[in-house]
Amino acid sequence: MIVGISGASGSAYAIAALRALRAVPDVETHLVLSQQARQTIALETDATAADVEALADVVHRDENLAASISSGSFHTEGMLVVPCSMKTASAIAYSFNANLLVRAADVCLKEKRRLVLMVRETPLHLGHLRTLTQLAELGAVILPPVPGMYAHPKTVDDIIGHAIGKALDQFGIDAKSFARWTGA
């Protein structure tokens, strides 16, 4: 499974996703961080980029367009981009493969593999919405980290856990990180 981290706000979501995936047997994570992600991690968390990289099985440099995950012949279950900036979403939507994060996402689309984008932008203007529509038409899952209040979250970690659980559900992975709705 590929995890891409863009420079959008929401580094805590990426860290939670990597921790959840680490706890799942038989899931190998391939991580790629954008340059801006490294700065955002430092600004938003007590972690360093190296700390985040340590949560993955394999780390790829964003500038390495010859990495294994840049080819469709390298089999993966898909890719989660968390958080996903509108810059990254736009590059993916229009196949602007200038870095490995975007190229790996493009490969998932062309190979019909699951691509889940946890888009972190608000409010959205018409250009953003058109980009997200383009991505959905290409087969991407647009999954903004919207909290489920039915679970009565008590902490920020509860809210993050819910969003990550919903994202990993898209890959058939039950991270057991949130309370599922069982009815009224």
Annotated binding site for FMN: 7-9, 34, 85-88, 120
- Alpha-carbon span 149 to 163, nearest angstrom: 11
Binding-site positions for dimethylallyl phosphate: 150, 166
Binding site, by residue number, is: 7-9, 34, 85-88, 120, 150, 166
108, 79 contact by CB (below 8 A): yes
Q: Are 106 and 143 in contact (CB under 8 A)?
A: no
Q: Rounded to whole angstroms, how far apart are CA atoms 168 and 165?
A: 5
Q: Residue 77 carries which side chain, given as an amino acid letter?
A: E
Cβ-count burial of 68 within 10 angstroms (0-12 exposed, 13-18 middle, 19+ buried)? middle
Residue 21 buriedness (CB in 10 A; 0-12 / 13-18 / 19+)? buried
CA distance 147 to 36: 25
Q: If we measure between CA atoms, which residue out of 51, 72, 73, 49 comes closest to residue 61?
A: 49
